[in-house]
Amino acid sequence: MFTKNALTVAEQVSQLQERGLVIKHPHIAEKYLLNISYYRLGEYWYVMQQDKENHIFKPNSKFEDVIALYNFDAELRLLLFGVIEKIEISLRTKLIYHLSHEINPWWFQNFELFTDSKALVKTLSNLEAEIERTKDVSIKNHKKKHKDDGRFPPAWKSLEQTSFGALSKLYGNLKNNVASKDIIAKEFGAVNHTYLPSWLQSISQIRNFCAHHSRLWNRNLPSTVKMLSKPPNPWITDAENVPKQSNKLYMHMCLMKYMLNTIKPDNEFTERLEALFTKYPNVDLKALDMKPNWQQEPLWK
């Protein structure tokens, strides 16, 4: 039976000190703990503990290093969120453009184009809820003007209301004989439809971590991404080791960079990532699986 009681912030600070965490300014630490929960910060000091069962810290473990690591992770999420935004907008645009021309503006309602009908029903149900909730003027005007039309608004209106996760599911659920599926993959440098669905799924999950302020540093990520053996665009030199590395953030950031290079070749992802690492020199980059001289890789140049 769980018997622990809630601790005041002063008691939390005392407990951390008793366990060996160096806290120079307890009152400042209390202020942090009033704004960032003990449990959330615990995800960052966990690696500093030498006895994880009794929560005893390694010698010279400092509260200020915990906060630096927390701040680094927060800034990393903001950086990646901006990158993912560009990928999301590009994916949405490509889906709307190519499939509306290949099929028609209501392709996303056509069950004959999709492999999993149940998954499509769920996607459309969520889309319908988003459209009902939205205050978007174009949707309201469309409904008012075409109230006798039982269909969703056309793709260029409807799919602006849905999430990256839903877009990635729509793409992945398309039958492989839909020509646009390969066209979109090629435009992202993925050669064909075999690879892109797993990339989008990976990036969608990282986007959710960013949106919900969840830790990315030292997190194990899904390792099911399918990697190209010979990418058509600049990639990394140790690509043969990708399957062993794909559960850490570095490889997923490589995928983001690869896709971003097709969207905005003059992007500043490398420079901004390097600046972040320079700002927080004490952060252990091995927890992200960053490679030595990663910025010299063809992909990141």
Span 203-244, pLDDT tens digits: 999 999 999 999 999 998 876 788 888 899 999 987 665 555
Structure-block tokens of residue 238 = 């140790």
Among residues 77, 31, 27, 76, the alpha carbon closest in space to that of 212 is found at: 77
Single-letter amino acid, residue 8: T
Structure-block tokens of residue 179 = 């020509």
Confidence of residue 18 (pLDDT cuts 50, 70, 90): very high
Single-letter amino acid, residue 52: K
CA 241 to CA 200: how far, in whole Å? 21
pTM to 2 decimal places: 0.93
CA 52 to CA 119: how far, in whole Å? 42
CB neighbourhood size of 274 (10 A): 14
Asked if pLDDT for residue 262 goes beyond 60, the answer is yes
Structure-block tokens of residue 227 = 């990697």
Quote the pLDDT of residue 247: 82
